Every structure is written in C-alpha cells, then in structure tokens.
Structure 1
C-alpha cells in the first residue's frame, strides 16, 4: 500500500500561530467591547435621570428670602426645593465630619478606603464605610439600598461619574438638599426651619454642627431617644473644629453651651392664602420669591387675628388686607383671609378673599368720577341732581334714604351718594364706562353693559379686592408719573419675576388722577381718626368705602403717594350683617394698617404743567354765563368741558325788590336787574333743607301775571316718579298703611289740586303732601296748579302680603 505523503511541518506551525492570533483577536474584541459597554454605562447610564425624582414642598419666601409659608410634598415629606447656596458654616462642619479630603479626591477617597478595610478586617465587622459625600449623594439618589460590597462598587463608579458632571459646590448642594434630618424632614433648609425656626444662613456654629452630624443617624433628633449620643456627636465635631482652628476658644465655649433643640417647630404660616393662589396659578412652581415684606406681613397677621376675633362676636367671620407699593405696584402684605391655623372650612377661612369676586358696592364711584373728568363731562364742583329718580324700573336710593336736591360731584363722592352717581353714569353711558374698567384690569366684568345697567356703579357687578386695590394704586402711580415719559397702566406684582408694566397706555392724565385723589381727601374718617387733620404728624389718605346690597360686603381702600391699602370684610358665604358697613367695619382696619406703614413722602404735588384755570360759578360749578359770581379753579389741560351753568339767570325786580316784573308791566328805568341761582322745583325742595340761604325766585307782581301769557310757574312731582313701584306697608295691627305723595311748585303758597285716576283727592297749600291708600295695581296721579299747569305720573302699587295669618 502506498504511503501517504507526509504533511510538511511549516503549515501546521502556521495554523497554530494563526489560531492563537485569532484567539487573541477575539479576546481583544471582547475586552474592547466590554470597555465600550462599561464606558457607555459609565457615561450614559451610571447615574439616575433625573438624579432625584422626588416631589418637593412648595415654599413661599419674602423679598429677602425669609420663609412665609410652605406646602408639604406629595409624599408627606418636608422636602424643600433644592437649596440655592450651602452656608459656609455647614460646608465646613459637614466636610470635617463626613469627608475631610472632599476637596481633593475625585469621588472616592482611597486613603479612607484602605483605612476602612483595615479597621473592618481587624474588628471582624463593619466599623467604617469610607463613603465620601459624592458616594452618599449617589446612595441618596438610589433610595438608600442595602449596604453590600457590589453596591459599594456601584457607588464608587457612579461617584466618579458624578464628579465629572458636577462641581464640588454643586455636589454639596445636592447633599444638603436631599439628606435626611429625622422624621419627615429632608434637606438642610427644611431642617433649619423645623428645628430652629430660622433660615440656614442665620444658624450658629453649634446648630450647623448638629445638622452636619444628624444625617449620619437621623433618628437621634427625636426628643427622649438617645439625645445624649446626639449631643456627644455634636460636641466631638465642635471639638474638631476648635482643633483645626476654625473656631476660636470663645466661639467653641459658647457653642458647647448651646442646648439641643426640643420638639420641632411648626413652619411659618404668614401667607398661606397667597401660597395657595400661586400654587394654583403655577402648578410646577416650587420656590416662590415674592415681593412681600415679612415684618409688615407679621404685623398685619397679628392685626387681622385681633380684629377677626372681635368681628366674630358680631357674626362676621372673614376679612382680607392687601398693601401695594405705588411706585412698583409690588405687593408688600397679603392677608387673604382671617388667620386661622385650623382652616375651618365651614367658616370659609381657607378661601383667598383677595382674589374672590364680590359685589363692589360704591368702590367704583371714584373711577367713574375720574373717567368723566378725563372726558370733559364733569368738574369736581359741578352740581349733580340728588332727587328721587326712576330709570325704567330701577329706583336707586341713597344709603341714608335721604335726598339733598343737588350736590357737587366732589361732595357726592365724599358722602358716597348713590343717586348722583347713577345720574352721572346715565350721562356717561354704561358701555364706555365698562370698557374703561376693563382697560384698568377688571377681569371679572365679563358680562354685557345691558346686563349690569346703571347699577354697575352701585355694586351691581362683582370685582375682587386685588383688582380694586391695583386700580387705586394706578391712580396714585399716575398722579406722580413724570410728564416726560408715556404713562401705562400697571399690573400688581406678587412675585419678583413679574413685570408691572402692562403695555397698555393709560387713559387717564396725571392731572385727572391728581384731582380725583384730591377729592377723596374729603371723606370723614371713623372714630378718633376723624381728628387726623388736627395733628401735624398725621398723614393724608385719599380713601373710599363701599357697602354692598344687603350689607354682605364692606370695603375700604385708601392711598398715599407711597402705598395703597385695600380691606374687605364680610362672610365668605355671602351672609349679611346689620353692622357690616365700609365705614364702621372696614375703615378702622384700613387706618390701623396705615399706622404700620412709614409716613413716606408728602402729599402729591400739584401737576401745574398739566392744569389750566377756568372761571366757574360759585354755586353750581359750571362755566359762567355772566349771571353768577365766579371763582377760578384748576382743571385738566386737555379737558373739553364746555357746559354753561343751567342754574343762573338774570331777572328783573321792581323798586321794592319783592316782585318780578318785565317790560310789559313796568318801566324799564324802574326795573332792577338781579342775578339769581334757581334750581328746578324738585331739586330746590330738598336743597333748601340743607342750605338755609337758598332763595326761591320772587313771585311775579300781580299786574304782570296777566301779561305772561303762556309763561306759567314750574311744577314738579317729587314722589312718585314715572313708572315707580310703590309698596304699601302694613301697620302693627296688620292693616295696610298709606303712601305719601309730594309735589313742589315754585312758590309754596300756590294752591295745588290732586287727582288719582281722575278722582279728585283734595287740595294742598304751603305743605304739598297727600296721604293716599290706593288699591294694588297701576294708577295715574295728576297734580294741577292754579294757573292750570298739569303734571302726571303713572305708578304701580304693590302690597306686602300679611304672612302672619
């Protein structure tokens, strides 16, 4: 058998070499792949994303960063948002206790690791962990898993990665924000407030040392549980700080003498309603830096508590106070409701009544006053009718149920008379005034002008204390705005990040704002405040009150050049109280609030460059027609006011000056001209009750009456007005009472004839009143004077049912 040829040795050796090369290559590939996978894990997946996914508490801070209020986190932990800066004292104390070489290692302290390994092997148990602060941050981020060797290795690798992504101050920030401090307290800032009731920056060395050792064993903070051990740990750290010369001997001795804190403090609740409102507006917000002044807020919380307790005795459960800075429109104090830690829901204490819309009462009257001044439809001294009126079924009444005949616009504003302002709104128009209010920022006025009607200026619309106070602050802001720059409506600011400038050009001039505020100085203050002008130290306050229908809301809003204060008092459920009025209930709180504010600058300076002077009649405040005594007053430079006086006329008297005459019955040479102030009969009837010097027109001389021809004496029915609904009252015995009709001729001595539904009732002379008891339904009243002049009024009688039977 033929032998097989022998394979040469060279190819076999080559095969073996090639096999080893392939193995090395594969191993290299695996090693490289492992490195790539490890590198990928280390770079992209070694740290949780986000590092800390826990929810945070929402906190409210004042303008200087002091805590005002806080909401606990969703998981029931007092975990404040990440601290912005770790105090130097805490940094030193923490690193000396936990990680002395923190500034020098890259996440893992190998010297500490070697020492810990040696100690653990020698003791045959774990006595030292050698964890750096970076490793502890990783552990906190992973939810404190069991302490095992594999877990320690993972922590080391992730600590290296952490150090590559974050700076040393940022790592300290992460630790200080998420370390446990006992119970449900997480983070340095929450711990400082819970245990010491202060901001971390205000803590002493002893307090920072305590907080530095606490995360190492947070259970020690509880009263009665190993407190001696906690004290020893703190003192050892203080001794270390003294040894390394961080503390002087005196500081060390003082720190050692400080006791441990007792039970945790309740967190501040100085502005809980503002925090609720901001949290609802910014659900993702955690740290709200406000413009609040914490000192002023605390003072007003005390005032609100004291006043709220007094009002509760009268059945008035809620109040709100708002203070704004007129220059920046920043909120300085915000009391959203009567302070009550229990937040009793049945009394509405949890409701932010600064933002809740309520009936505005009379608080819109100054804004109508200002709007009509700006439009040239009014002057502060212009007379406005104050007599019974009826606007297609709407019959406004003054609060005191009295009539003054005619009052100046300034007086009507100072006395908050309803009828004159309804007459003014009728002249201005509801639509343009409603548009003006919306431009000022009244966002709750969403319905049509037809819906509100003339009651808009009397509380027929709802607005919030926030909107009203901001509007009055805008008046003060405009009254002192530089004439060089364009004026804009300002928005109220609660957060330091908010911008006041709304971008909307103001529709009021500086002069109009100044005149309006000047008119609001005339209001009589309540109680002892009524003597404010007797003291040189008293401040001027332009202010206005308001009371809603049914006495459900009491308002008081006042402004100085520096501050605007708004107050609302009432019941959140809308229940009225007889004692609830703006003057009696809200105004005292207003002036007590001003007493907590600095006096500030003097009153608004007169804007002379934006004012001009005109001659007006002294009696009625309209432009002179040449038949009245005049005075010069200042009005806005751009005012187009052009209404001549309707109340002054020139008359002619005979030589005795007792009778009116004309050229038909008297020689011109014997006639004496006189300028006379004459009001319409219905206005004159009430006006002369308050003005004893009012003189009616002299009567015509008898021989002149025949020559008057068509000229007749004026006659007016004061009550009832056209289309009035009249209620017949029931007397104590259950019988229907009577209604009193009133008429006013020019001369009281005139004889008047009264008719109801064409039935003669009788005559009156001197005192023109007629008591009648008409049946329920519609009727027509007619009054005729001796000259035959006739005036009629249609009205409807409504009868209150007797429910006692």
Structure 2
C-alpha cells in the first residue's frame, strides 16, 4: 500500500480511513440473542402468573364439597300405582368404592379415564391425543377431561365451554388431587354424577333402572350404567333399549381391550339379557309428565318435600299407543310421506289414559298432542252434523250433492264431481263438502260454533263460510275432549291427568274432584251421531280404523295439500284423537285421515288393555249403521282448497284395498 506523503495537507491527514468510518457509524453492537429470549420468558411468565391469579380469584367456594345437594323428588304413578317417572334430583345413599363390584369401577374407568390412578388430575397424554384428533377433524370430536376434571366441573363450575372455565377446571382438579386420595375422588364422582332419569349417583341409578343396589349389579348391568355417562338421555334404556344395549357392548369391548375382563367374560355378559325396571319402560310418557308437571309444582308450592303423584295414565295403554304410532310411521308405504304424529286417548270422564307427543321424546321434546295446532279438516264435520240434528234433521234426511254458492264463495267437490241426492248419513260417511256446507248454512254457522264451544273446543274460531270445512286450528287434546260427548252419552269433559298428590309420608295434599255431570248433547243427538260415526268406520272413509270384534266409530279429516291427516273416534272405554303430518308443514305423499291415523287407531285399539282384545276377551260388535253402504260409489279425500277428491275404487284396491289413500 502506498504511504501518505509526510508533506500531505493537514486536512488529508485528519480524514479517517473508510473502513473505520463505517464501523463508527454502526454504533454499539446489538443485544445477545439469549438476553432477548430471557426477557421474553420473564414477560411470559409474569403474564401467565397474572392470568392464573385472575382465574384463581374467581374460583368458587369449595367448603361445601362434602355435602350432597339434594332437591325434592316427585314420583309419578299411573292410575294403577305403577311407576311412570321420577322428577327432581333423586340421590341414593352414598356408597364406598370398596363396596362396589370391581368390574363396575373398571367399567367406569374404561370409558371415562383409563389412566385415572396414574395422572395428577390432568392427563397430558389424553389431552394431547384429543387435541390432535380435534385438529384433524376440524371440530371437537374428543374431550381430554379426566374424571377428576369432570368432578371439578360438576361440583363447582358452569357447563359453559370457554378457555377461562377450562383453566379453572384444571386448577380445581389439581386441588382435588392434592387433598383427596384417588378412591375418595372416585367416590365423590360416582355418588354425584348424573345417570339420566332423574338419578344422581350410582346407587340411585342402579335402583332406578334395575331395582337393586349398585353392589348387586352384574357385569352387563355395570357396562350399561357406565355407558350412560357419555349421554344419559341418549343411551337411557328406557328411551331406547337397543341403543343402550349397543352402548353397553362398546363398554364391554373397551374393558376387554384394556385387560379389565377376559374374552369369555365379555361374551357371557353380552349374551345375558338385562331386565330394566318395567315401571320406567315407557319413554313417550315423558310428554305426559311434562304436561302435568307445572300443575304439580303450582299445587304443591316451591317448598314441598318428596311427593307421590297418582296420575290418570295407564302404562299399558301408553305403550300400546307408542307402538301403534311408531309401527305405522316407520313403514314408508303406510306413512305416505308423514314423519310425525300425536295421539291422545281419554276415558269417558276426560282422564288421559295415553298421550304420545311425537315419535321420539329423546329427539324432540315438543309435545304435539297439546301444542301442535293444525286444521282438523273434515274431522270438524261431526260438530256440523250434531248442530243439524239438534235443529231437527235426521240421518235419513236427503240433500243434493251439487255445486253450491255462498255469496261469492263456491266450495267444490274435487274435479266438480257430485253424486246427486244422498242421505246425511252417506254424506257424512263419504265426507261430502257440498252437503256439509249446505247444512251448516241451514242450521246457522253461529249455532255450529256455539255447539263446538259447548262441547269443549277452546281454540279461536270464526263463524265464517269455511267453518264447516274445519278451516281453523285445534290440538289433538282439544279434539279428543270435544269428541268425548259423542261416546259418553252427551256429557262435557275437561281433560285432566292428576288424580291426587301426596307427601312421601302419605299426607294428601290434593285430590281432583269428581267431574261435574254437565250434559251438553241430548240422547237423541248422541244416538244419531253414533250412527254416523259407525258408518264412517264400517263402510265410509275410515274403514282402516275398524277393529274386528269391537264396536268403533269416528271421523277422518285431511287438509289442503295433504299436510295434515286426522282420525278422531271412540271404541270400548276411550275416545282417541290422532294427528299425523310433518313438523315443517310440508305436504305428504297423499296421506289422508283414512290412511296413517286410521291405521294407528286400529293398531292401538287392538293392543290396548281397555279394548279387552289384548287379553283375548273380545266384545261383540254393535248394530252398525242403519242402512247398508251404497254400491259403486267412490270414496273421497280432502284436496287443496279444502275440496274432496273422489278416488277410483280400482286404484284404491291396487294401492292396498282402500289403504293409506282413503280419507
């Protein structure tokens, strides 16, 4: 490198070298990387500590851990004293793990917490596995909570799913593990967890479902109880026996896979029938319990102790009603495009013997029997004809089935097809719209509306021109109550479900008074209406409702676009109203009142205890209608705009001998 001359100018000698000048411009060297991470760690630790302090500050009081909170229970019995259901927090006495069969404890741990005896309250392995599964699925498919965490949540926390609540759950789980032994934690869990059916705790659940203490359950029963913990209502044996059995088999498989039982023990348990308490074997009865439960609480007051409520329900009739409804609607050929139904069956004094609010209480608690208001269609014509008979007409009077006009309204039979002169009996049995409108106008719409009110119908209705065709909404319970005077001699009833309410000690708190004998139809009108109602079943649109060996009568009804189908009628000691349709009000596949509802009525009456047929003691049929059915006439069904459509007898035969396509 050339040296700078000694005689160079002073300015040149003072100028720094380029390299040194660049170093000085860079300033001090940056902080070492480890110091940055250390600072972030300290900040993160402080933030986490602050978060934990904040979460811990809101932790609930744990001082009442040892006390089991027990609310009052209400036992509901049918009219013969058989258990229907229990409501309230039914707790059994506390049991120790040492007093339970080892396989019962193993069954619970196999499905709830396999590493219960090895983790400190939070299972990192299980939590990691659940998180991985949820990430892969894109939504929550597994839970990573341990049995201790579930106990903490059940005892102290709300069911909300937030990160704050989850942190509190983990902190409480660590606290429980530090204060109690594993067996003590397991006892706290088993004595408090919910098993469905109002039963809290393993002892109450065993008594509820099997009628025996938990110390005496078999391996299969233990598997069934353990299977309930995932979803108590869904897997309850009283709601769905087949689903409960399948879930119990899954538990047995898990027990075998984890070495808790042998293959031979699994096979033996899976092949042994499990007997569930018969008094609790009618899941659809929960609709009825929901109906009367508010009245029980209102009558007894908020501070009542344990109660025993004797109801009007008949467990055997309830089972028959549920089986009949499901048996028809589960068959696509007979259901004809309807997915739901409801049934109410009343004794002649108005006491409810069966109430089915839908096909499955587990899937839907909406009680269609008392809450679903739908147009009754031609089922309303019974009130039109009763009004006509009060006004002096008789079943043998003749009217002309022809086009009619009321002001600017022209109700029509389907396709403008009319049959000419016919008796009122035939018009009713064939469900002629034309003649129904004619006699409503002759009698007076106001008279029809007043009679309907007198018989117990309370839904809003207008006495307009379409009243005769049932163009207003009713519930199955209302329709059954209003039809009852046709069967009981003309006396109005008010449907009821409670007979008495007593304390557990036997002190009577309430007793339903005997119904008042309030006659709303004279004997002549009742006799004439029974004549018409029998004609509908013997040779009219309700032939599918006939029951061999039993006198029955009723009326079919179908509404616009085949959206609603009804049958209301009587037989033996009960009056029954049945509705079928779709919850979204979608049209069916031409389902009519003479189809699914009539078929359900027939199946119900053949198996219900009040008919006498279920036990083999049939009753002789009545005299039937006063005249033979006309020959060669087509049956009718309701069609859009409330009209009646004639059905070709040959087509009806090919469709099933007057099956689902008859009104």
Taking structure 1 as the reference length, the TM-score comes to 0.43
Measured in 2, the distance between the counterparts of 1:222 and 1:571 equals 36
Measured in 2, the distance between the counterparts of 1:351 and 1:581 equals 22
Asked if the contact 1:561/1:604 (under 8 Å) is kept, the reply is no
Aligned residue for 1:540? 551
Following superposition, the deviation at residue 556 of structure 1 comes to 0.7
Greater strand fraction, Structure 1 or Structure 2: 1
Structure 1's 529 and 568: CA in aligned 2 closer, same or farther, altered over 3 A? closer
Structure 1's 302 and 466: CA in aligned 2 closer, same or farther, altered over 3 A? same
2:533 to 520, 523, 538: 520
Asked if the contact 1:323/1:331 (under 8 Å) is kept, the reply is yes
Measured in 2, the distance between the counterparts of 1:66 and 1:189 equals 22
1:319 to 331, 341, 345: 341
Pairs within 5 Å for 1:155-234:
181=191, 183-184=193-194, 194-198=205-209, 203=212, 207=213
Measured in 2, the distance between the counterparts of 1:567 and 1:419 equals 25
Structure 1's 542 and 263: CA in aligned 2 closer, same or farther, altered over 3 A? closer
Pairs within 5 Å for 1:369-380:
369-376=385-392, 378-380=393-395
Q: Deviations over 1:425-455 (max 9, x none)?
A: 101111122111112111112x442xxx121
Structure 1's 52 and 374: CA in aligned 2 closer, same or farther, altered over 3 A? farther
1:392 to 407, 411, 417: 407
Measured in 2, the distance between the counterparts of 1:544 and 1:374 equals 19
Measured in 2, the distance between the counterparts of 1:466 and 1:292 equals 14
Following superposition, the deviation at residue 57 of structure 1 comes to 5.9
Asked if the contact 2:401/2:419 (under 8 Å) is kept, the reply is yes
Asked if the contact 1:562/1:601 (under 8 Å) is kept, the reply is no
Measured in 1, the distance between the counterparts of 2:362 and 2:351 equals 26
Q: Is the partner of 1:475 in helix, strand or coil?
A: helix
Measured in 1, the distance between the counterparts of 2:80 and 2:200 equals 15
1:494 to 457, 472, 497: 497
Q: Is the partner of 1:575 in helix, strand or coil?
A: coil
2:316 to 289, 295, 300: 295
Measured in 1, the distance between the counterparts of 2:536 and 2:79 equals 34
Following superposition, the deviation at residue 278 of structure 1 comes to 2.6
Measured in 2, the distance between the counterparts of 1:518 and 1:384 equals 18
Q: Is the partner of 1:353 in helix, strand or coil?
A: helix
Aligned residue for 1:272? 286
1:506 to 503, 512, 519: 519
Asked if the contact 1:565/1:593 (under 8 Å) is kept, the reply is no
Q: Deviations over 1:68-112 (max 9, x none)?
A: 3455x5xxxx427xx9xxxxxx9xx99xx9xxxxxxxxxxxxxxx
Aligned residue for 1:427? 442
2:359 to 312, 315, 338: 338
Pairs within 5 Å for 1:105-184:
181=191, 183-184=193-194
Structure 1's 499 and 455: CA in aligned 2 closer, same or farther, altered over 3 A? farther
Aligned residue for 2:64? none
Structure 1's 416 and 55: CA in aligned 2 closer, same or farther, altered over 3 A? same
Aligned residue for 1:63? 79
Asked if the contact 1:360/1:461 (under 8 Å) is kept, the reply is yes
Asked if the contact 1:337/1:351 (under 8 Å) is kept, the reply is yes
Aligned residue for 2:377? 361
Aligned residue for 2:48? none
Measured in 1, the distance between the counterparts of 2:539 and 2:596 equals 10
Q: Is the partner of 2:489 in helix, strand or coil?
A: helix
Greater helix fraction, Structure 1 or Structure 2: 2
Asked if the contact 1:545/1:583 (under 8 Å) is kept, the reply is yes
1:417 to 413, 416, 432: 432
Q: Structure 1 unaligned runs (5+)?
A: 1-50, 84-89, 98-143, 145-178, 212-217, 224-258, 344-348, 480-487, 607-617, 619-686, 691-724, 726-805
Measured in 2, the distance between the counterparts of 1:365 and 1:548 equals 13
Following superposition, the deviation at residue 564 of structure 1 comes to 1.6
Structure 1's 524 and 210: CA in aligned 2 closer, same or farther, altered over 3 A? closer
Structure 1's 52 and 400: CA in aligned 2 closer, same or farther, altered over 3 A? farther
Q: Structure 2 unaligned runs (5+)?
A: 1-66, 100-154, 156-188, 228-268, 301-306, 501-510, 613-617, 634-640, 642-663
Measured in 2, the distance between the counterparts of 1:191 and 1:500 equals 40
Following superposition, the deviation at residue 64 of structure 1 comes to 3.4
Q: Look at both structures and tell me which one has the larger radius of gyration over its CA atoms.
A: 1
Taking structure 2 as the reference length, the TM-score comes to 0.51
Measured in 2, the distance between the counterparts of 1:518 and 1:305 equals 31
CA RMSD of aligned residues (A): 4.8
Measured in 2, the distance between the counterparts of 1:554 and 1:372 equals 25
Asked if the contact 2:344/2:369 (under 8 Å) is kept, the reply is no
Following superposition, the deviation at residue 420 of structure 1 comes to 0.3
Aligned residue for 2:396? 381
Pairs within 5 Å for 1:767-778:
none
Asked if the contact 2:537/2:553 (under 8 Å) is kept, the reply is no
Asked if the contact 2:541/2:556 (under 8 Å) is kept, the reply is no
Higher relative contact order (CA 8 A, sep 6+): 2
Structure 1's 322 and 689: CA in aligned 2 closer, same or farther, altered over 3 A? closer
Q: Is the partner of 1:321 in helix, strand or coil?
A: strand
Aligned residue for 1:306? 327
1:475 to 486, 490, 513: 486
Q: Is the partner of 1:522 in helix, strand or coil?
A: helix
Measured in 2, the distance between the counterparts of 1:333 and 1:495 equals 13
**Number of paired residues?**
402
Asked if the contact 1:62/1:290 (under 8 Å) is kept, the reply is yes
Measured in 1, the distance between the counterparts of 2:452 and 2:541 equals 34
Following superposition, the deviation at residue 554 of structure 1 comes to 0.3
Q: Deviations over 1:696-747 (max 9, x none)?
A: xxxxxxxxxxxxxxxxxxxxxxxxxxxxx9xxxxxxxxxxxxxxxxxxxxxx
| 1:595 counterpart = 2:595 | no
Measured in 2, the distance between the counterparts of 1:430 and 1:529 equals 26
Following superposition, the deviation at residue 307 of structure 1 comes to 2.2
Following superposition, the deviation at residue 303 of structure 1 comes to 2.7
Measured in 1, the distance between the counterparts of 2:563 and 2:590 equals 10
Aligned residue for 1:253? none
Q: Deviations over 1:256-286 (max 9, x none)?
A: xxx9x99998975232222233335555577
Q: Deviations over 1:273-332 (max 9, x none)?
A: 222333355555776532111122223323322322224975421111222222x33222
Asked if the contact 2:191/2:202 (under 8 Å) is kept, the reply is yes
Asked if the contact 1:296/1:332 (under 8 Å) is kept, the reply is yes
Measured in 2, the distance between the counterparts of 1:191 and 1:560 equals 44
